[in-house]
């Protein structure tokens, strides 16, 4: 069916919403709306330069039990690597993309929980199942911004999550069940006086949708199944005017990835210690340290052409990783109108993969081990100045040192014990300088204009450097010679605000050099001598390589209006079309669009409260067509999805809800293999549940 009409209708509705000068209820692009508590520094003055969306506690509470990555889809340009929720996607594809800036499984967006990185230390992706919305007070999404105060991996932006910090004792609980037989449960508590103790727990389980389109399924295809859970325990106390927080978190997640033998399991244990000294005038500071230990294993499957049988293609039986680091931020206000920030941070990661591969006659005939270590350390300083009434100017500089060490890859023939390859990679290091500078100006009638330029960087992950992988018959080789990615960007826009409405508009342009991409090397069956790989029939061989230059230009806008005490309207739209501008190794890619990026993305939302305690909410999300591969040969069609939620507050402490996702049953294409097999994204799902406060 054609998707032009639904897309046009949605965009027209977005345009109408903007015309009537809307403002997002519970959401606003201005960071200043974020509620600040005693044990957290407020946003920096320079935050005004960036396009930031804040979702407060009310938005998180009214999500109908959705996962955090599902809630974040209302932010323009936010998405995982593929068009799938974390409920039914492999952990290694859950990296964040913003503005379509070169999506990958690793992502180019930094995710922080109270200042502690949540990106996987080995692969860069994010385990969304362990980040419960119930345990959060609010979150903010900053698009663009480069490295700035955040450093490595924040090229496309940063997602900051903030734990709940209410001082009064209490708690909450939620239970959700869906039409596939799945469930989600979560609970939080807090108590104490001189020492505040807090905790959270969550569990999920049950079947999910099929991943393969109905007309292509075979006996080998089964429903996805995701189960797991975890918990957190921590304490906050004050000492000499400094708030200190300690927390320990454990989570476990298991997934059956649409084929019975294609299973994965993740375990994560994290400890963090933070301290904040926040004063009205003078010097404030904040510091965070953390240690994260995790284990991962996964089996990947090769499926027969008729999809009736499947055999193991790769068994990652042990993938241990450790991440550790810390940061310190100091903020000074020498006088009214002048703010100075400075900070240092360091992140260390070590990890390895232990795998069985080359399955033949019922056994794996080869075993592989690969991994290494990585350290990134940096320092930055920033000055913000109120140059004149309504005008703020800010400039910052940052310098980072990165090092990759002890990299290796060994492969053993398990049939005769011979060594197939034994590679030890030379240590590498380097320095990266980055900057950020811009200004805001308050205009008349509620208008504020802003402009900013910035640079950023991302060091390739250990996974990209050393670990090959295989999905079906499609093989992707690692590349230890990868160079860090670099970003140079600029954007400008305006924000208009009134008592009941607001509108933000941003034009942006970014140039990404040395972007790590999966580049097609071979499409025919047979051996590849250069990479020492055999490509099976119907398969494709790719390798992670640096593309010389990618550019992404676009426009994004958010708007909303509080029409009455009963009705709120919100709309957002993103246009972006990132393209390969230079690829010396693969000139055929020049001029092509990046994979997994739709030119047009739009969301229209409406909330209606006809009577006290009753709320109905609907979201219409649409995206135009995109490609699944670097050669733009596998086209994924556009879609329009409608979600709905009805909730009723039975008592001040109890709420019940019913919800529907993709209620019209639109087929959302998330992937297309070389053999023409279509992977589908979020299918029609209905759910019901209840939540309590105590």
110-145 pLDDT per residue, tens: 999 999 999 999 999 999 999 999 999 999 999 887
pLDDT reading at 322 higher than 50: yes
Comparing CA positions, the residue from 134, 137, 72 lying closest to residue 109 is: 72
The answer on pLDDT for 100 being more than 60 is yes
Mind listing the pLDDT tens digit for each residue in 39-92?
Answer: 678 888 888 888 888 898 888 887 877 889 999 988 878 888 888 889 888 888
Binned at pLDDT 50, 70 and 90, residue 34 comes out as very low
Is position 167 within any domain? Answer: no
Which residue in this structure is represented by tokens 């860090």?
484
What does the pLDDT average to over 580-601? 91
pLDDT in tens, 58-67: 888 878 778 8
Instruction: Classify 690 as helix, strand or coil.
Output: strand
The total domain count for the chain is: 1
Task: Please report the pLDDT score of residue 43 as a whole number.
Answer: 85
675: left (phi over 0), alpha (psi -120 to 50) or beta: alpha
CA-closest candidate to residue 644, choices 148, 110, 64: 64
CA 213, CA 216: separation in Å to the nearest integer? 6
The DSSP element (H or E) to which 51 belongs, if any, is strand 51-55
Strand partners of residue 315 = 299, 356
Cβ distance 24 to 559 under 8 Å?
Answer: yes
Average pLDDT over residues 335-346: 92
pLDDT at 410: 94
pLDDT surpassing 70 at residue 586: yes
H or E stretch at 68:
helix 68-71
Residues 6+ apart with CB under 8 A from 591: 579, 580, 581
The CATH number of residue 317's host domain is 2.40.170.20
For residue range 598-611, what is the model confidence (pLDDT) as tens digits? 999 999 999 999 99
**Domain range enclosing 469:** 24-156+174-693
SS3 612: coil
In angstroms, the CA 550 to CA 527 distance is 31
User: Could you count the other beta carbons within 10 Å of the beta carbon of residue 187?
Assistant: 20
pLDDT band (50, 70, 90) for residue 472: low
Report the sign of the C-alpha dihedral through residues 130, 134, 139, 141, in that order. Answer: positive
DSSP state of 81: S
pLDDT tens digit string along 501-510? 999 999 999 9
pLDDT at res. 413: 95
- Residue 590 belongs to a domain: yes
Average pLDDT rounded to a whole number, residues 29-42:
49
pLDDT of residue 144: 85
d(CA 543, CA 101): 20
11 pLDDT more than 70: no
Region of poorest pLDDT, from 243-247, 339-343, 358-362: 358-362
**Residue 336 belongs to some domain of the structure:** yes
* For residues 685-694, average pLDDT: 94
Of 308 and 99, the structure prediction assigns the larger pLDDT to 308
- For residue 87, which phi and psi values (nearest 5 degrees)? -65, -30
6 occurs within a structural domain? no
β partners of residue 447: 496
**Strand 27-28, strand 51-55: pairing:** antiparallel
Residue 165 lies in a domain: no
- Rounded mean pLDDT of 198-217? 94
12 inside domain: no
Q: Work out the percent of the chain whose per-residue pLDDT is above 90.
A: 67
Answer yes or no: is pLDDT of 3 > 70. no
> Mean of the pLDDT values across residues 29-37?
37
**14 within domain boundaries:** no
pLDDT in tens, 162-190: 998 777 889 999 999 999 999 999 999 99
- The answer to whether residue 3 sits within a structural domain is no
Mean per-residue pLDDT of the chain: 89
Residue 296 Cα to chain centre, angstroms: 19
Q: Is 71 helix (H, G, I), strand (E, B) or coil?
A: helix
Which are the contacts of 36, defined by CB distance < 8 A and separation ≥ 6?
A: 42
Q: What's the pTM value of the predicted model, to 2 decimals? A: 0.89
Give the percent of the chain with pLDDT over 70.
94
**Whether the Cβ atoms of residue 424 and residue 442 lie closer than 8 Å to each other:** no
């Amino acid at each position: 069916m054609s998707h032009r009409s639904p897309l046009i209708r949605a965009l027209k509705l977005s345009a109408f919403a903007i015309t009537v000068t809307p403002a997002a209820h519970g959401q606003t692009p201005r960071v200043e709306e974020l509620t600040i508590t005693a044990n957290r520094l407020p946003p920096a003055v320079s935050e005004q330069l960036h396009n930031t969306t804040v979702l407060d506690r009310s938005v998180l509470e009214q999500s109908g039990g959705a996962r955090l990555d599902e809630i974040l889809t209302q932010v323009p340009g936010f998405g995982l690597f593929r068009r799938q929720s974390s409920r039914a996607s492999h952990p290694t594809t859950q990296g964040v993309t913003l503005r379509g800036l070169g999506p990958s499984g690793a992502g180019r967006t930094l995710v922080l929980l109270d200042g502690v990185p949540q990106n996987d230390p080995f692969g860069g992706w994010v385990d969304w199942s362990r980040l419960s919305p119930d345990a959060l007070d609010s979150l903010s999404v900053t698009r663009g911004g480069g490295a700035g105060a955040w450093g490595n991996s924040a090229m496309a932006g940063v997602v900051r999550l903030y734990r709940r910090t209410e001082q009064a004792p209490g708690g909450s609980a939620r239970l959700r069940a869906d039409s596939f037989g799945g469930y989600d449960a979560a609970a939080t508590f807090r108590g104490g006086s001189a020492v505040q103790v807090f905790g959270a727990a969550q569990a999920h389980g049950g079947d999910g949708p099929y991943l393969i389109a109905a007309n292509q399924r075979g006996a080998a295809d089964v429903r996805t199944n995701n189960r797991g859970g975890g918990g957190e325990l921590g304490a906050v106390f004050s000492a000499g005017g400094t708030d200190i927080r300690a927390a320990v978190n454990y989570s476990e997640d298991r997934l059956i990835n649409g084929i019975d033998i294609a299973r994965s399991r993740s375990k994560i244990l994290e400890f963090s210690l933070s301290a904040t000294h926040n004063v009205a005038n003078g010097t404030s500071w904040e510091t965070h340290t953390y240690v994260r230990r995790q284990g991962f294993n996964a089996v990947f499957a090769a499926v027969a052409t008729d999809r009736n049988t499947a055999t193991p293609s790769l068994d990652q039986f042990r993938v241990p990783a450790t991440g550790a680091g810390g940061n310190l931020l100091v903020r000074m206000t020498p006088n009214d109108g002048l703010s100075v920030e400075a900070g240092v941070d360091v992140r260390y990661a070590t990890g390895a993969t232990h795998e069985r591969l080359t399955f033949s006659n019922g056994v794996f005939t080869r075993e592989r081990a690969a991994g290494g270590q990585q350290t990134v350390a940096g320092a930055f300083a920033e000055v913000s100045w109120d140059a004149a009434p309504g005008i703020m100017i800010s400039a910052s500089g940052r310098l980072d040192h990165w090092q990759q060490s002890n990299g290796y890859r060994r492969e053993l023939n398990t049939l005769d014990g011979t060594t197939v390859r034994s590679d030890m990679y030379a240590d590498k290091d380097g320095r990266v300088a980055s900057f950020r500078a811009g200004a805001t100006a308050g205009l008349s009638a509620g208008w504020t204009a802003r402009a900013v330029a910035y640079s950023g960087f991302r060091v390739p992950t250990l996974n990209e450097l050393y670990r090959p992988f295989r999905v079906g018959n499609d093989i992707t080789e690692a590349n230890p010679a990868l160079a860090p990615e670099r970003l140079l960007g600029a954007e400008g826009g305006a924000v208009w605000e009134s008592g009941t409405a607001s509108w933000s508009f941003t034009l942006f342009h970014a140039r990404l050099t040395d972007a790590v991409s999966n580049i097609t090397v071979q499409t025919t069956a047979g051996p590849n001598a250069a990479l020492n790989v055999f490509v099976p029939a119907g398969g494709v061989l790719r390798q992670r390589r640096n593309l010389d230059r990618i550019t992404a230009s676009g426009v994004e806008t958010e708007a909303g209006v509080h029409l009455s005490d009963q009705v709120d309207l919100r709309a957002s739209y993103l246009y972006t079309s990132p393209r390969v501008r230079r690829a010396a190794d693969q000139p055929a890619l020049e001029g092509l669009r990046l994979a997994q990026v739709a030119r047009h993305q739009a969301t229209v939302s409406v909330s209606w409260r006809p009577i006290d305690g009753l709320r109905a909410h609907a979201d219409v999300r649409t995206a135009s067509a995109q490609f699944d591969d670097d050669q733009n040969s596998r086209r994924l069609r556009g879609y329009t999805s409608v979600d709905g939620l009805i909730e009723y507050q039975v008592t001040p402490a109890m709420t019940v809800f019913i919800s529907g996702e993709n209620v019209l049953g639109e087929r959302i294409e998330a992937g297309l293999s070389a053999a023409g097999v279509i992977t589908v994204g979020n299918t029609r799902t209905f759910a019901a549940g209840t939540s309590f406060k105590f």
